Amino acid sequence: MENKENTYHVPVLRDACIEGLNISPNGTYIDVTFGGGGHSRAMFEHLNSAGKLIAFDQDPDAQNNLWEADNFIFVPANFQFMANHLRAMGIKQVDGILADLGVSSHQFDSAERGFSLRFDGELDMRMNQSGSLTAKEIINKYSEDDLYRVLRNYGEIDGLKKVVDALLRARQSEEISTTVQLTQLLSSLAPRKKEHKFLAQVFQALRIEVNDEMKVLTDFLEQAAKVLRPGGRLVVISYHSLEDRLVKNFLKRGSFDGKIEKDFFGNVLKPFEEVNRKPISPSEEEIEINSRARSAKLRIAEKLNVGE
């Protein structure tokens, strides 16, 4: 297998993910965020010919990183539909699932995708290029209330009224269609010495709305609880507090809002038991090599033997 990960995407916390999956050589495993294939390659190397790896990715660019093998299956789809595709393949249970959430290095580095503050590109931000909603449509067409909702819920931005007012005023005179237009418009509203963080929060909010990321994540976690066999492992890397909070609550408490439900005997009703009580963070050495890893949090959990 040719290694393209250095030019496409450096796999974050690769060794910790492989250890967390506790791979059985003849088991069936899923990488729901194939990307550059770095995590998938590492998983595949631990399998024998009886083992199987299934990879998901909705971004057509990811298909440039595939390899041929009888026990490797690639599904060009959003992992929100994981359970449906497994059902179509006749697969009822799997031994481990990996999810590396967020945007790949390749997507950030492709100016035309509109994910990055570093380049001038169209306000796109679609992970699936066949999707209809773009960041440009949100900025130029969303109502005042919807702009508040997106930026408040997904960006957790301070001084929200000034931001929304600036967008509403600016779009009356001309369409805001590029990343540079947006950053120039909002830079003056950023807290002093926190311009980059402020703009990154705006971009994050738009990206989450475009790709419906919170709904996709909750759907995926619920499906993972159903398709993992008892004792199977779920490994999730998150990059911001919104997604990590959902993962943490679901693994710790069995709910997304953090509420705990107990059975008659006082046992917490949840599908997973955490393997690591606190998230694993990358080392300083890894962060130096791959700055994208800085905000990564890795959570590992094992499927409990409970009825659905």
| More confident position, 44 or 262 | 44
CATH number of 112-211: 1.10.150.170
CATH code matching the domain that covers 5-106+213-303, chosen among 3.40.50.150, 4.10.490.10, 3.20.20.10, 3.30.360.10: 3.40.50.150
- pLDDT, tens digit, for every residue of 51-84? 999 999 988 888 999 999 999 999 999 999 999 9
- pLDDT, tens digit, for every residue of 201-235? 999 999 999 999 999 999 999 999 999 999 999 99
Residue 297: closest CA among 253, 245, 244: 244
3-state secondary structure of 205: helix
Cα separation, 69 vs 175, whole angstroms: 48
Cα separation, 257 vs 250, whole angstroms: 8
Q: Where are the domains of the chain?
A: 5-106+213-303, 112-211
| More confident position, 59 or 99 | 99
Amino acid at 70: D
Cα separation, 103 vs 108, whole angstroms: 7
- pLDDT, tens digit, for every residue of 125-146? 888 777 889 999 999 999 999 9
- Integer-rounded Cα radius of gyration of the chain: 20
Check if the beta carbon of residue 234 is closer than 8 Å to that of residue 228: yes
Cα separation, 175 vs 136, whole angstroms: 9
